[in-house]
């Protein structure tokens, strides 16, 4: 049914062809333009988009049943909704912190894990107290309290650790967040005990099933993923409108471009950074609670893959924008899901290599701009 | 009579020049580590845990030295250490179990592999921003861990894989821990000397220049990208070599060792000790790995709560980064200077008491 | 630059030429240092030999009358040692007496005990002195068995041998070095010729004989802001060229374009490099600019705070090292020699600029004027053709500025460098510059001698605001 023969050969050949076309264009056409590097930039972007489209196409072709390719791809997309939501939330948190504190927060995943653990504790408490309550409400309450917990944790980290540091360099802050990972890794089993904890799904209602056209193949969307999508969209839309239309958002953007000038212009950068740590914590917390039920029982290292993917998405889309990482967060889980059709063992490695290749040809990220440094 | 005293003076001078030779301290440290093993050989009942603690300290010091070139001199952080060390260890497994090749060939292969891997990963991640290195290597480490778990033919999967003994020439030689210990000590000495050379050479200065002011470094003709790449490759080579030593010492490896926690512990060792000083790194590595094995594992409280030591390591990183960027070795040095001044003062006081105050 | 075969050849030979040039410099500067080193070793050996002679002759010299300085010294030392020892013991005793005096109620009772002790000490001293004298007697007794003339002859022979050996060594070394120098010179000329041959059909850039740097319609736009707009001027060899203008006129941006920290939006920059070839700066990467002979300083001093002043200067010599990374790892002989050469060069430059006192101090905490001067010294490490100074007088007081002006003039004369500076301090600019160019909003207002600029109406308008 699925014939993966020659998959890699075709992909590699296509990439090689793209590279050749790009080099030829660069050597002949672009040279005569006024700003050759700009044209080369656009051409590389086109090549990347073409490459990814070809990957989709090649997966589409592997299935030999009529309509099967579309089914495989669409189901792959539907199946990765939860991952996309989780990744989008986590990545937005990482980018927010990077913008205001110029550091990559390695503790993001751990803060989120703490939220998931506390949510699990609270949900067991609530369901013991009110056994008749609807499961969705219980999880929502747990999610809210967990997120609040990580919100406070975020503020705490910024105010009492990052800001109290005597010599705040970007690398130093990075080290501090790495240290925090160790601290949380040790503290979680001490605080929450070693018994296995779980968080329930948002809904156990029947999956939505439908067909397209006259194909007999049934498409499948879980209710959990629909709830997750809803929560994510609400959160992100709120956040982006806050960033776009409120004074706080203006402050964040000002702090992101130059902290010193912003503080001199009367922006309270301390509150801004503390708030962005808090919001990043909150986003991570929600992400962890959504992610927890599909990963089984809670584990200390459960958010590490998500965090790694979040970082990679942020690099892929460039730390300088919010939209770029979001696009990457949609791309990465879907690619992973599609690749698992071709190779069921190495899909993560393959996606990682794809990301590396893209970063290799476009170091500033898909949506990034190179900024001239003041000397 | 006088000729003798002249010769004595000369001998004193020579001893002084030996004592102040930059490599002398390394020799002392390696000898101290070695002395523990020697005591054991002579029949003194040194606990095995202490021995293992010193063995691990020596092996992990090599990783930490590479990391110090990267972090203390290049100003870059990598989280792929665990993956690289694991890869080195599995290289030994593959070369010994499947190919049956000598350990020396393995070392050569590992060095070449490390250079290739470091070049590729560094080339991709270091072109824009130094900060990206930590992220890309973190991803690489996770992927490598997955490979260790899933490539069961070579790595034995999640249950781990061992070797019967390292192959010196052609036939399998099951060397005892004692012999490997000697091998490791000598190796550590040379690695320390080489690292010292790098740190004091124009390369070390160029790296420091880059870390302090990238624009000044560029204006002085230091290619930022090239030197970052160099630092990363050096740290990769050190990490994979340490993997080889690890495998020869423990003869067993399991994927769950090579996780993010290990990388962070190495980072802790480098930061806590002092990222620019070789002695600091030895101190840090001993605090993070040696103390854990030699002391904490002997105390019931820590055996029952293994998480406490992890928390301690994390807190140490945070506190040192926040308040003592030079690491604990800086603290030790300042204390040493203060002690010296105190001793001088006491001496003067005693002299004044005994001989009376000079009437100047 | 397209990657054609011809260009590859050019690159290959250019590399060779540069390599031999650095080798030549290295060989020329290492020779006197090594000769000096050898001289030092020679004197040390000779000293040791004469000491040995004196030691051998000691019994003879001490016999009856003291015949040599060394013998006198030895004798005095032995006596002195005893004297010193008893001086301290005496002092300690006196101190004890003082203390006891304060403590005791009835001193007269205890006094005899201490007087006795003092007496004992005196006797001991006498005995010790006698002992020393006795030892010397034993030594003198040996004098009969010593033949001073023979010893003298023997040592003298050894000394001449040593001297001859060192002379021969020095000669050999000089010869070898000269041979090396000649070899590199020949190769340099050869490759230079080949390079010229190849370059016949290479795109060459015309530049007047005396011009070092030429900007043609240089533009740099940041988004909509035109920081530099169609700027062109020429800098002549050996002059001090000043670029002035109000704040935000784009002066520093010009520097950043020349040193390739920025990629200019338009325009061309040409430079006559160390090999007297004209290069297009647009094609060169930022860290290779220094290899062409352009060095710069920064507006706010960019020191390497973790290195001391000498090492800061050594970083500037980074491009001059021939030893590779593996040489550095193994601390090779070449590297150690290069280090000696570079360090002596550093010492010379520091002495020239009156900075020797700070050679081993760390820049953190030094006064700002000194830091600026260290940055200046740093530019001199590579024998630059063009030194670019970005606001050298910013943040300095009047005395420091005067000192700086002198230093800049001295550098121009003694190091044969062209100097190109941006400055706000009009006094400094008018005092030292040969040519001044005034810019405003990225556009050139006027260029000429300081006097001409002072009388220019356009410049006055830009500074004081037009009517």
Domain CATH number, residue C330: 3.40.50.300
Q: B182 or C467: which carries more pLDDT confidence?
A: B182
The residues facing C225 across adjacent strands are C222
In the prediction, which pLDDT does C467 show?
A: 45
C190 and C336, same domain (yes or no) = no
Asked if residue C310 lies in contact with residue C273, where contact means CB atoms within 8 angstroms, the answer is no
- For residues C261-288, average pLDDT: 85
Radius of gyration for the alpha carbons in chain C, expressed in angstroms and rounded: 35
Distance of alpha carbon C290 from alpha carbon C281, whole angstroms? 11
Cβ contact C262–A372 (<8 Å): yes
- For residues B279-295, average pLDDT: 88
In this complex, the residue of B205, B221, B356 whose CB is nearest that of residue C311 is B205
Cβ contact B325–A178 (<8 Å): no
Contact status of A32 with chain C (Cβ, < 8 Å):
no
C195 and C229, same domain (yes or no) = no
**Domain-terminating residue out of C155, C174, C203:** C203
- By C-alpha distance, which of B102, A157, A67, A375 is closest to C253? A375
Distance of alpha carbon C379 from alpha carbon A372, whole angstroms? 24
**Domain-terminating residue out of C203, C237, C254:** C203
Asked if residue C227 lies in contact with residue C221, where contact means CB atoms within 8 angstroms, the answer is yes
pLDDT value at A372 more than 60: no
Domain that holds residue B312: 26-326
* Top-ranked range on mean pLDDT: pick from A91-105, A254-268, B293-307: A91-105
Two tokens, residue B141: 């480490």
Q: Which of residues 255-274 of B touch A (CB under 8 A)?
A: 259-261, 264-265, 267-268, 271
In the prediction, which pLDDT does C278 show?
A: 83
Asked if residue B36 lies in contact with residue B54, where contact means CB atoms within 8 angstroms, the answer is yes
Torsion of CA C43, C45, C49, C51, to 10 degrees: 70
Cβ contact A161–B76 (<8 Å): no
Contacts of A205 (CB under 8 A, 6+ apart): A223
pLDDT value at C187 more than 60: yes
One of 2.60.98, 1.10.3210, 1.20.930, 1.10.3470 is the CATH number of A65-361, namely 1.10.3470
Dihedral sign for Cα B230, B236, B238, B240, please.
negative
Asked if residue A188 lies in contact with residue A150, where contact means CB atoms within 8 angstroms, the answer is no
Q: What is the DSSP string of A24-43?
A: HHHHHTGGGSS-HHHHHHHH
In the prediction, which pLDDT does B5 show?
A: 66
Element (H, E) at C214: strand C211-222
pLDDT digits (tens, 9 = 90+) for B14-62: 888 888 888 898 999 888 888 888 888 887 787 888 888 888 899 999 9
C230 and C186, same domain (yes or no) = no
Contact status of A183 with chain B (Cβ, < 8 Å):
yes
Distance of alpha carbon B227 from alpha carbon C418, whole angstroms? 31
**Domain-terminating residue out of C203, C232, C252:** C203
C143 and C249, same domain (yes or no) = no
C225 and C300, same domain (yes or no) = yes
C99 and C145, same domain (yes or no) = yes
**How close B212 comes to chain C (CA, Å)?**
5
- For residues C319-343, average pLDDT: 89
Two tokens, residue B88: 């080195």
Cβ contact B2–C331 (<8 Å): no
Two tokens, residue C10: 């050019």
Contacts of C230 (CB under 8 A, 6+ apart): C217, C218, C219, C267, C443
In the prediction, which pLDDT does C24 show?
A: 87
Domain count, chain B: 1
Cβ contact A375–C298 (<8 Å): yes
Q: C11 or B139: which carries more pLDDT confidence?
A: B139
In the prediction, which pLDDT does B4 show?
A: 60
In the prediction, which pLDDT does C119 show?
A: 92
Q: What does residue C237 show for φ and ψ, rounded to 5 degrees?
A: -65, 135
Structure confidence at residue B2 as a pLDDT band (50, 70, 90):
low
Distance of alpha carbon C289 from alpha carbon C294, whole angstroms? 6
Q: C19 or A96: which carries more pLDDT confidence?
A: A96
C307 and C366, same domain (yes or no) = yes
Chain A residues inside the 8 Å CB shell of B310: 182-183, 185-186
- By C-alpha distance, which of A326, A361, A316, A327 is closest to A41? A361
Domain count, chain C: 2
Q: What does residue A299 show for φ and ψ, rounded to 5 degrees?
A: -135, 155
Contact status of A193 with chain B (Cβ, < 8 Å):
no
Contact status of B313 with chain A (Cβ, < 8 Å):
yes
Domain that holds residue C120: 1-203
Min mean pLDDT across A64-68, A218-222, B52-56, C95-99 is at A64-68
In the prediction, which pLDDT does B3 show?
A: 54
pLDDT digits (tens, 9 = 90+) for A233-250: 999 999 999 888 888 888
**How close B197 comes to chain A (CA, Å)?**
25
In this complex, the residue of A27, A35, A372 whose CB is nearest that of residue C222 is A372
The SS3 of residue C203 is coil
Contact status of B193 with chain A (Cβ, < 8 Å):
no
Asked if residue C227 lies in contact with residue C441, where contact means CB atoms within 8 angstroms, the answer is no
Asked if residue A3 lies in contact with residue A69, where contact means CB atoms within 8 angstroms, the answer is no
Cβ contact C261–A373 (<8 Å): yes
Average pLDDT score over chain A: 86
SS (H, E, C) C103-124: HCCCHHHHHHHHHHHHHHHHHH
**How do A208-210 and A219-221 pair as beta strands?**
antiparallel
Chain A residues inside the 8 Å CB shell of B124: 356, 359-360, 363
Q: Determine what percent of chain C falls in helix, strand and coil, rounding each to the nearest 5.
A: 65, 15, 25
Cβ contact A375–C261 (<8 Å): yes
pLDDT value at B360 more than 60: no
Asked if residue C213 lies in contact with residue C258, where contact means CB atoms within 8 angstroms, the answer is yes
C321 and C346, same domain (yes or no) = yes
Structure confidence at residue B1 as a pLDDT band (50, 70, 90):
very low
**How close A169 comes to chain C (CA, Å)?**
15
Average pLDDT score over chain C: 86
- Residue B340 resides in a domain: no
pLDDT value at A373 more than 80: no
In the prediction, which pLDDT does C1 show?
A: 45
Provide the H-helix boundaries in chain A.
7-28, 36-62, 68-79, 81-101, 108-129, 135-156, 170-192, 223-245, 247-257, 259-264, 269-291, 304-317, 323-342, 347-361
Torsion of CA A76, A77, A82, A84, to 10 degrees: 120
The SS3 of residue A49 is helix
In the prediction, which pLDDT does A375 show?
A: 52
**pLDDT > 90 fraction of chain B, expressed in percent and rounded:** 44
pLDDT value at C304 more than 70: yes
SS (H, E, C) A265-297: CCCCHHHHHHHHHHHHHHHHHHHHHHHHHHHCC
Q: What ipTM was estimated for this complex?
A: 0.86
SS (H, E, C) B119-185: HHHHHHHCCCCCCHHHHHHHHHHHHHHHHHHHCHHHHCHHHCEECCCCECCCCECCCCHHHHHHHHH
C392 and C283, same domain (yes or no) = yes
**How close B305 comes to chain C (CA, Å)?**
41
- Residue B11 resides in a domain: no
**How close C23 comes to chain B (CA, Å)?**
17
- For residues C415-427, average pLDDT: 87
pLDDT digits (tens, 9 = 90+) for A85-125: 999 999 999 999 988 888 889 999 999 999 999 999 998 88
Contacts of C437 (CB under 8 A, 6+ apart): C233, C241, C242, C243, C244, C444, C446, C447
Contact status of A347 with chain B (Cβ, < 8 Å):
no
Domain CATH number, residue B259: 1.10.3470
């Amino acid at each position: 049914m699925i014939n993966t023969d020659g998959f890699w050969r075709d992909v590699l050949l296509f990439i090689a062809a793209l590279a050749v076309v790009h080099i030829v264009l660069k050597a002949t056409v672009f040279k005569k333009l006024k700003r050759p590097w700009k044209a080369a930039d656009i051409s590389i972007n086109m090549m990347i988009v073409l490459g990814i489209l070809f990957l989709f196409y090649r997966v589409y072709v592997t299935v030999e049943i009529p309509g099967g390719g579309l089914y495989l791809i669409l189901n792959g997309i539907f199946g990765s909704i939860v991952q996309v939501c989780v990744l989008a939330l986590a990545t937005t948190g990482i980018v927010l912190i990077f913008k205001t504190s110029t550091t990559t927060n390695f503790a993001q995943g751990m803060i989120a894990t703490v939220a998931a653990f506390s949510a699990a504790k609270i949900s067991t408490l609530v369901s013991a107290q009110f056994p008749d309550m609807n499961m969705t409400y219980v999880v929502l309450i747990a999610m809210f309290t967990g997120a609040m917990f990580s919100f406070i944790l975020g503020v705490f980290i910024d105010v009492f650790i990052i800001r109290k540091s005597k010599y705040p360099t970007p690398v130093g802050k990075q080290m501090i967040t790495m240290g925090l990972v160790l601290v949380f890794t040790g503290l979680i089993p001490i605080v929450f005990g070693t018994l296995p904890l779980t968080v329930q799904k948002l809904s156990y209602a029947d999956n939505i099933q439908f067909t397209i056209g006259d194909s007999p193949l049934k498409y499948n969307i879980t209710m959990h993923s629909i709830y997750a999508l809803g929560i994510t969209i609400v959160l992100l839309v709120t956040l982006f409108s806050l960033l776009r239309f409120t004074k706080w958002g203006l402050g964040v953007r000002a702090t992101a471009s130059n902290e010193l000038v912003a503080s001199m212009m009367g922006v309270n950068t301390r509150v801004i950074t503390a708030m962005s740590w808090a919001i990043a914590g909150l986003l991570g917390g929600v992400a962890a609670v959504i992610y927890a039920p599909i990963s089984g029982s809670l584990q200390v290292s459960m958010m590490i893959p998500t965090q790694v993917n979040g970082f990679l998405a942020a690099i892929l889309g460039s730390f300088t924008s919010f939209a770029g990482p979001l696009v990457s967060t949609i791309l990465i889980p879907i690619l992973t899901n599609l690749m698992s059709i071709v190779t069921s063992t190495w899909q993560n490695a393959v996606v990682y290599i794809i990301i590396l290749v893209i970063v290799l040809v476009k170091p500033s990220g898909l949506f990034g701009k190179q900024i001239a440094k003041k000397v | 009579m006088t000729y003798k005293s002249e010769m004595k003076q000369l001998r004193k001078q020579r001893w002084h020049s030996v004592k102040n030779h930059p490599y002398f301290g390394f020799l002392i440290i390696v000898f101290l580590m070695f002395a523990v093993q020697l005591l054991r050989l002579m029949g003194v009942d040194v606990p095995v845990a202490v021995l293992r603690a010193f063995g691990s300290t020596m092996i992990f010091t090599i990783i930490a030295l590479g990391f110090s070139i990267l972090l203390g001199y290049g100003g870059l952080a990598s989280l792929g250490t665990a993956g690289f060390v694991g890869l080195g260890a599995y290289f030994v497994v593959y070369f010994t179990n499947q190919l049956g090749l000598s350990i020396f060939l393995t070392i050569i292969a590992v060095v070449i592999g490390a250079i290739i891997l470091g070049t590729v990963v560094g080339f991709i991640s270091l072109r824009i921003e130094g900060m990206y290195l930590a992220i890309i290597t973190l991803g690489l480490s996770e992927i490598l861990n997955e490979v260790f778990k899933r490539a069961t033919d070579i790595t034995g999967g999640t249950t781990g894989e061992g070797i019967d003994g390292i192959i010196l020439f052609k036939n399998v030689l099951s060397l005892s821990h004692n012999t490997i210990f000697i091998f490791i000590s000598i190796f550590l000495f040379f690695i320390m000397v080489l690292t010292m050379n790098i740190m004091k050479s124009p390369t070390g200065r160029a790296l420091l220049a880059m870390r302090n002011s990238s624009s000044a470094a560029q204006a002085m003709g230091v290619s930022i990208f090239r030197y970052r790449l160099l630092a990363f490759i050096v740290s990769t080579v050190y990490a994979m070599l340490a993997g080889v030593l690890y495998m020869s010492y423990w003869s067993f490896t399991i994927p769950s060792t090579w996780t993010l926690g290990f990388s962070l512990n190495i980072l802790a060792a480098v930061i806590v000790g002092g990222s620019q000083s070789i002695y600091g790194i030895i101190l840090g590595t001993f605090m993070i790995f040696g103390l854990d094995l030699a002391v904490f594992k002997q105390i019931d409280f820590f055996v029952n709560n293994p998480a406490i030591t992890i928390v301690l390591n994390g807190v140490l990183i945070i506190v040192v980064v926040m308040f003592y960027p030079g690491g604990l070795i800086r603290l030790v040095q300042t204390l040493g200077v203060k002690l010296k001044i105190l001793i001088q003062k006491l001496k003067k006081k005693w002299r004044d008491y005994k001989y009376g105050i000079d009437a100047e | 630059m397209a990657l054609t075969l011809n260009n590859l050849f050019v690159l290959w030979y250019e590399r060779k030429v540069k390599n031999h040039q650095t080798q030549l410099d290295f060989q020329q500067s290492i020779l006197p240092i090594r000769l000096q080193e050898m001289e030092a070793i020679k004197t040390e050996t000779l000293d040791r030999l004469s000491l040995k002679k004196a030691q051998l002759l000691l019994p003879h010299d001490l016999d009856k009358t003291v015949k040599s300085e060394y013998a006198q010294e030895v004798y005095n030392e032995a006596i002195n040692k005893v004297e010193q020892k008893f001086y301290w013991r005496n002092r300690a005793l006196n101190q004890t007496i003082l203390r006891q005096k304060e403590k005791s109620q009835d001193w007269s009772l205890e006094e005899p005990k201490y007087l006795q002790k003092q007496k004992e000490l005196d006797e001991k001293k006498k005995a010790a002195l006698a002992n020393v004298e006795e030892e010397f007697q034993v030594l003198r007794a040996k004098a009969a068995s010593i033949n001073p003339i023979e010893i003298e002859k023997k040592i003298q022979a050894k000394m001449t041998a040593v001297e001859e050996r060192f002379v021969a060594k020095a000669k050999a070394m000089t010869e070898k070095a000269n041979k090396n120098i000649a070899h590199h010179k020949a190769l340099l000329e050869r490759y230079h010729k080949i390079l010229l041959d190849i370059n016949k059909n290479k795109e060459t850039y015309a530049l007047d004989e005396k011009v070092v740097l030429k900007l043609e319609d240089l533009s740099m736009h940041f988004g909509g802001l035109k920081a530099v707009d169609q700027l062109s001027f020429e800098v002549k060899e050996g002059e001090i060229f000043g670029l002035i203008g109000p704040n935000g006129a784009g002066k520093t941006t010009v520097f950043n374009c020349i040193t390739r920290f920025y990629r200019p939006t338009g325009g061309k920059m040409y430079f006559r490099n160390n090999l007297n070839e004209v290069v297009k700066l647009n094609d060169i990467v930022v860290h290779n600019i220094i290899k062409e002979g352009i060095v710069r300083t920064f507006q706010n001093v960019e020191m390497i705070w973790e290195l001391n002043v000498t090492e800061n200067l050594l970083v500037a010599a980074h491009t001059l090292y021939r030893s590779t990374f593996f040489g550095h790892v193994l601390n090779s002989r070449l590297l150690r020699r290069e280090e000696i050469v570079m360090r002596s060069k550093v010492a010379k430059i520091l002495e020239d600029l009156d900075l020797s006192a700070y050679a081993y101090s760390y820049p953190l905490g030094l006064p700002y004027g000194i830091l600026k001067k260290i940055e200046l010294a740093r530019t001199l490490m590579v024998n630059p053709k063009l030194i670019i100074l970005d606001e050298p007088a910013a943040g300095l007081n009047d005395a420091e500025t005067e000192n700086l002006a002198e230093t800049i003039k001295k550098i121009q004369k003694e190091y044969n460098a062209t100097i190109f500076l941006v400055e706000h301090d009009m006094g400094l600019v008018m005092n030292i510059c040969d040519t001044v160019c005034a810019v405003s909003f990225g556009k050139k207002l006027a260029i000429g001698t300081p006097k001409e600029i002072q009388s220019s109406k356009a410049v006055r308008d830009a500074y004081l605001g037009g009517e």
